[in-house]
Amino acid sequence: MRPLVTSNTSFLSLMHELDYLGTCKVLFERIIVPRAIYEEILGSQREELIRAVEELMAEGFIEVAQVSNHALVAVLRERLSVGESEAIALG
As a dihedral over the C-alpha atoms of residue 40, residue 41, residue 47, residue 50, rounded to 10 degrees, the angle is -150
Mean pLDDT of 7-23: 95
Task: Tell me the β-bridge partners of 6.
Answer: 32
Query: Residue 7 pLDDT > 90, yes or no?
Result: yes
Query: Residue 5 pLDDT > 90, yes or no?
Result: yes
Cα 73 → chain centroid: 16
Under the banding of pLDDT at 50, 70 and 90, the label for residue 1 is confident
The DSSP 8-state label assigned to residue 2 in this structure reads P
Q: How many Å apart are CA 89 and CA 91, to the nearest integer?
A: 5
Residue 13: other Cβ atoms inside 10 A: 18
Mean pLDDT of 7-26: 95
Q: What is the pLDDT of residues 20-71, one digit of tens each?
A: 999 999 999 999 999 999 999 999 999 999 999 999 999 999 999 999 999 9
Please answer whether residues 35 and 8 qualify as being in contact, where contact means their C-beta atoms are separated by less than 8 angstroms: no
